[in-house]
Structures are given as C-alpha cells and as structure tokens.
C-alpha cells in the first residue's frame, strides 16, 4: 500500500489526510477479497523502516491502526475473517499489542479470508530472527544443522501456517520490494500499478487478479507439451 503521501500532496492536504483515505481503501479491498472468497490477503501496513518517519506521522498512523481495530473488528468477525499480524511486536505500544492479540484470539477459529497485516514488519529482520532461533537450537544441541531445509526454515518465520504469496501488488508506481516478504516471495508474481493507494479500488483489484490469472507460472520448470 504505497502513495498515501503523494495522494495528499496532489490535493494540497497534509500527509495525514492521505493515510485516512488509505484506510478507506483498506476497508474496500478487504471487503472485495472477502466477497469473492479469496483465501489470503496480506497488507503491508507499517514497515520496520517506517519508524524513521517524523514522530507526529507515526503517532497518527498508530491512531489509525487503533481506530481500525476498534471500528472494523465486528464486521471482520461477521465475515468470518481470521486476522493475523506479522511483525516485531516488541516495539509497538502496549495497548496496540493487546489489541492485536485480542483480534487474533477473537478470530482464530474463523474459516473465511485470512487477513494478515504486516505491521512493524521487515523481511530481513524476520529472516535473521529465524536464523538466530535455529542457531540457538543447534548450539544447545537440540538441532542437527544438517536437517535445516527451506521447509524447516519457513516454520520459524512469522508467516508459518500461511501459504507463500501468489501475487504481490504494489501501488503508486514504485518498483521495489521494500523488505516485504523477502523469503516468501521467491516465486510470487509481481505487479506494479501506477494508482496511488487511496485511489486503488475494488475494480482495479479484481482486474489485477484477472491479469494474474493470465500469467504463465512455471516455478522454474517447463510447461509440459500438449499431448497430441
Ligand atoms: C504508504 O503511503 C503508507 C504507509 C507506509 C503507512 P506513503 O506514506 O509511503 O506515501 P508516499 O510514498 O509518501 O506517497
Ligand atoms: Mg511510500
């Protein structure tokens, strides 16, 4: 979700107004995903690098996060959405951590859309933490290093239990990953759209999913010849 600040600047509004508009888009896209029966949607809400922003912007974003969880959880619950948050919870304020835990706990048995927020999330940190955990187990003699496979490694990531992403959409015309799901995106289809996140819509989202359906995915293999 990128482009909130530029959306606001184009309208001569403060960046905060762009973030407020961005939350409306979150609502619209989550509803669309739930309506069409999508299994998984992960939204990059706040990166481990976003702490570098001015304190006033961070505190506004945290306020929006609080308001979203307060205001939207009932609807998510009604839709059978299961909420997860991936990221480093130690840095977030206590009340937000409690909210996250409550949202996850309340929705744990829901079988609809798996809605995941990457919040205080950084892919490099996630990979380093997984390596640290495995290294500790090996040093303590609980793990034979020879048994470390990609599959085992992935069980130590925040996304354990979730499938790898099939499609990653980045809005606002930037063409980079910005530390998002670095391990998990090995074979993800990447889509970069010019639209700024607050202008992104249900229609554009559905269009992106249709275009994804036309991509030819081989996962490093070859497409089998049609049998005559
Ligand atoms: C994305 O919009 C929102 C968050 C990172 C929370 P930006 O705030 O990065 O918007 P631009 O890149 O300045 O336009
Ligand atoms: Mg940005």
Per-position DSSP letters for 4-27, written without gaps between them: HHHHHHHTT--HHHHHHHHHHHHH
**CA 159 from centre of chain:** 10
Instruction: For residue 225, name the pLDDT band (cuts at 50, 70, 90).
Output: confident
- The percent helix, strand, coil of the chain (3-state, each to 5) is 50, 15, 40
Residues with CB under 6 A from ligand 1: 1-6, 22, 46, 50, 61, 172, 197
**pLDDT at res. 165:** 98
The active-site residue out of 35, 40, 50, 203 is: 50
Residue 162's pLDDT is 98
Active site residue 2: yes
Q: What Rg do the C-alpha atoms of the chain give, in angstroms?
A: 19
Closest residue by Cα to atom 1, ligand 1, is 2
Site to probe by mutation for ligand 1, drawn from 1, 4, 192 as the one with most ligand atoms within 8 Å of Cβ, is 4
pLDDT of res. 86: 98
Q: Which of 92-101, 112-121, 153-162, 217-226 has the lowest mean pLDDT?
A: 217-226
Q: How far is the CA of 50 from the centre of ligand 1 (A)?
A: 9
pLDDT digits (tens, 9 = 90+) for 186-206: 999 999 999 999 999 999 999
Nearest atom in ligand 1 to 7's CA:
14
Is pTM beyond 0.85? Reply is: yes
Domain over 4-213 is classified CATH 3.40.1180.10: yes
**Nearest protein Cα to ligand 1, atom 9:** 2
| Residue recorded with tokens 């969880």 | 69
- CA angle, 117 as apex, 190 and 196 as ends, to 5°? 50
Query: What confidence category does residue 224 fall into, taking pLDDT thresholds of 50, 70 and 90?
Result: confident
Q: Which is it for strands 114-121 and 167-170: parallel, antiparallel or unpaired? A: unpaired
Residue 50: active-site member: yes
Residues 138-178 pLDDT 10s? 999 999 999 999 999 999 999 999 999 999 999 999 999 99
Decide if 190 contacts 20 (C-beta within 8 A).
Answer: no
């Amino acid at each position: 979700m990128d482009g909130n600040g530029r959306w606001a600047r184009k309208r001569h509004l403060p960046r905060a107004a762009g973030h407020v508009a961005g939350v409306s888009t979150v609502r619209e896209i989550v509803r669309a995903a739930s309506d069409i029966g999508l299994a998984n949607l992960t939204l990059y809400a706040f990166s481990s690098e976003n702490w570098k922003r001015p304190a006033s912007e961070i505190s506004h974003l945290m306020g929006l996060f609080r308001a979203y969880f307060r205001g939207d959880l009932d609807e998510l619950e009604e839709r059978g959405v299961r909420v997860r948050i991936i990221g480093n919870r130690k840095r977030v304020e206590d009340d937000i951590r409690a909210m996250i835990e409550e949202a996850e706990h309340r929705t744990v048995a829901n079988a609809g859309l798996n809605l995941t927020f990457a919040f205080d999330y950084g892919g490099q940190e996630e990979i380093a933490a997984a390596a640290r955990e495995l290294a500790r187990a090996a040093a303590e003699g609980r793990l034979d290093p020879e048994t470390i496979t990609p599959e085992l490694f992935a069980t130590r990531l925040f996304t354990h239990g979730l499938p790898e992403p099939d499609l990653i959409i980045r809005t606002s015309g930037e063409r980079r990953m910005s530390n998002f799901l670095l391990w998990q995106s090995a074979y993800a289809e990447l889509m970069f759209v010019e639209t700024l996140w607050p202008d992104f819509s249900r229609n554009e989202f559905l269009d992106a999913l249709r275009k994804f359906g036309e991509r030819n995915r081989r996962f490093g293999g070859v497409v089998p010849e049609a049998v005559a």
